[in-house]
Amino acid sequence: MDWDAAIRAELKPMVPYAPGLRVSEVRERTGKQTVLKLSSNEHPCGPFPSAVRAMEAVLPRLNRYPDGSASALRRALCERLGVESEHLVVGNGSNEIIRLIAQSLLQPGDEVVFAWPSFVVYPMVTQMFGATAIKIPLTAGEVHDLDSIATAIRDSTRIVFLCNPNNPTGTIYERKEFERFLDNVPSHVLVVVDEAYFEFVQAEEYPDGRTYFDGDRAIAVLRTFSKIYSLAGLRIGYGMLPAPLAAAVHKVREPFHVNTVAQVGAYYSLNDDSEVDRRRKENQEQKAYLYSAFDRLGVSYVPSETNFVYVKTCKPVEVFEALLAEGVIVRDFGTSPALRVGIGTPEDTRITMAAFESVVTRLGSI
């Protein structure tokens, strides 16, 4: 077999997704027993208790295939969001829905526009289907430059991905800018608003993607159970899509793409909004503590609307390694002058603050 010729040419320049270090690896490397993983924006607590009970209850029935149309979960989500079921798609993580949308729309020669840095999956799905990525740099304040993104749209543009709040910077674009942007987007372009961190947002001016979704406009809004609902290990997310796109996605998805445990876990996570509020507030509190520590230590950071903070540093490699030596795993971006630090429990915050304090003492200003 001539593998070089056999494997699609588009895949050649692609690099597989590299996840952050695992806790066990770091334990081995540093000899530290207490290792804190703050590199994947996971929630520090387990899933909601009612979800855990329901998932345990379903385990003896896993001999059966899942409900292929996830009907109960989709019904619950439709009711909650006030959309028709023809618009509601669930996926094996919102990540899967991103790929399914790309798979439904993209052909070689098409273009996809998104900000950079942003979620790494956007360039991956773009390349995967032979389309071309147009990356628009964030502004100096690490915010989406929606005007420039609109300017970059042309006839060959199929999709614009907007991550709001943005991963890895934690910043949002505001309602006024978004509305001006939507006015400028031609109708042949799908705007995908990825709201993975929606539930953490507190800013008044945040444009809730749902309020712009009317079924007609070419806009898709994606959310996930991986973050505030603590179901990252299950892989489940959902999206509101224009009906024809949702129909196309149902054609390209696997028959049983969302497993039974995930459907049940997600369903039973939806009836505890007070826990969501509590988690949002606690995240905000811990973030404020972290900010004050950063201010005191002279660590530069970008204020965040999410459960992570983008720390700016001119010594990313040294700081990453020094934090690792303290048993704290953060996300690095190669030589990019920044690190992404997840927010955890009050105890996690205490450990993070102490780790940064010791790193700053050791390295001088970072």
Residues at the site binding another protein, with contacts judged by CB under 8 A: 111, 116-117, 132-140, 145, 147-148, 150-152, 184, 314, 333-338
Q: Which residue's CB is nearer to another protein, number 46 or number 137?
A: 137
Least distance from another protein to the Cβ atom of residue 334, Å:
7
Cα–Cα dist 228/343, whole Å: 12
> Which one-letter amino acid corresponds to residue 345?
T
Neighbours of 342 (CB within 10 A): 24
Nearer to another protein by C-beta: 82 or 334?
334
Distance, CA of 266 to CA of 91 (rounded, Å)? 11
Give min distance, CB of 229 to another protein, in A.
31
Q: Please report the beta strands in 125-169, taking only residues with DSSP state E, as ranges in sequence order.
A: 132-137, 157-163
* Shortest Cβ 160–another protein spacing (Å): 12
Distance CA 311, CA 303 (A): 9
Q: By C-beta, is 116 or 291 nearer to another protein? A: 116
Closer to another protein by Cβ: residue 11 or 314 = 314
Nearer to another protein, 210 or 312 (CB): 312
Nearest residue to 345 (alpha-carbon basis) of 307, 291, 300, 296:
307
At residue 318, the 3 state secondary structure works out as helix
Considering the complex, state which of residue 179 and residue 214 has its C-beta at the smaller distance from another protein: 179
Bond into 165 cis (ω within 30): yes
**Number of C-beta neighbours around residue 135 at 10 A:** 17
Q: How far is the CB of 103 from another protein (least distance, A)?
A: 22
Instruction: State in angstroms the smallest separation of the CB of 150 from another protein.
Output: 7
DSSP category for residue 139? P
Q: Does the N-terminal peptide bond of residue 168 adopt cis geometry, omega within 30 degrees of 0?
A: yes
In the complex, least distance from residue 172 CB atom to another protein, rounded to whole angstroms: 17
Cα(342)–Cα(349) distance, integer angstroms = 9
